């Protein structure tokens, strides 16, 4: 059971990372369409829900890990910060909406770059927290 929970936890974290990569491409000038934005958002939703659910499940299932361990609390705080930054990146992504008759979006590239970079930094901090487990 442990290996399954860990596999799904890491797999859903890759979904979150995929969204960061897609939004980075948008920030660097790749054409942003409704479809690619929709896919990125669904990857973030699945990744976020999966990492939270399976991460908490792992902390309950594994002996020696408790939900109140400092590194688990840090991970939860970083998870919530990443989701707040995702919301801001999404708003910047859809700053002007779709032009009439097309599905091409014209995002606020400065805002998108800023919030996506911050989100990527928080995600890297989250990964470092998972790997090094400070105060464990």
Q: How far is CA 116 from the centre of its chain?
A: 10
- Give pLDDT tens digits for 3-32: 999 999 999 999 999 999 999 998 888 888
Domain enclosing residue 8, as ranges? 2-132
- What distance in Å separates the CA atoms of residue 63 and residue 77, rounded to the nearest whole number? 22
- Per-residue model confidence (pLDDT) at position 111: 83
Tokens at residue 47, please?
Answer: 């990744």
Strands 32-33 and 104-105: antiparallel
3-state secondary structure of 55: helix
pTM for the model stands at 0.85
Each residue's pLDDT tens digit, 53-91:
999 999 899 888 888 989 999 999 999 999 999 888 888
**16, 44 Cβ separation under 8 angstroms:** yes
How far apart, in whole angstroms, are the C-alpha atoms of residue 55 and residue 121?
20
Distance CA 105, CA 96 (A): 7
- What domain count does the chain have? 1
Place of tokens 């590194």: 71
In the predicted structure, residue 97 carries a pLDDT above the cut 80: no
Look at 39-43, 57-61, 102-106, 118-122 and tell me which has the smallest mean pLDDT.
Answer: 102-106
């Amino acid at each position: 059971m442990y290996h399954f929970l860990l596999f799904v936890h890491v797999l859903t974290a890759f979904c979150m990372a995929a969204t960061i990569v897609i939004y980075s491409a948008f920030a660097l000038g790749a054409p942003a369409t409704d479809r690619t934005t929709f896919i990125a958002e669904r990857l973030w939703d699945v990744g976020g829900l999966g990492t939270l659910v399976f991460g908490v499940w792992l902390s309950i299932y594994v002996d020696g890990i408790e939900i109140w361990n400092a590194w688990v609390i840090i991970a939860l705080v970083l998870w919530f910060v990443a989701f707040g930054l995702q919301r801001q990146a999404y708003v910047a992504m859809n700053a002007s909406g779709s032009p009439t008759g097309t599905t091409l979006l014209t995002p606020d590239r400065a805002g998108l770059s800023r919030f996506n970079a911050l989100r990527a930094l928080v995600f890297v901090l989250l990964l470092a927290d998972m790997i090094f487990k400070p105060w464990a």
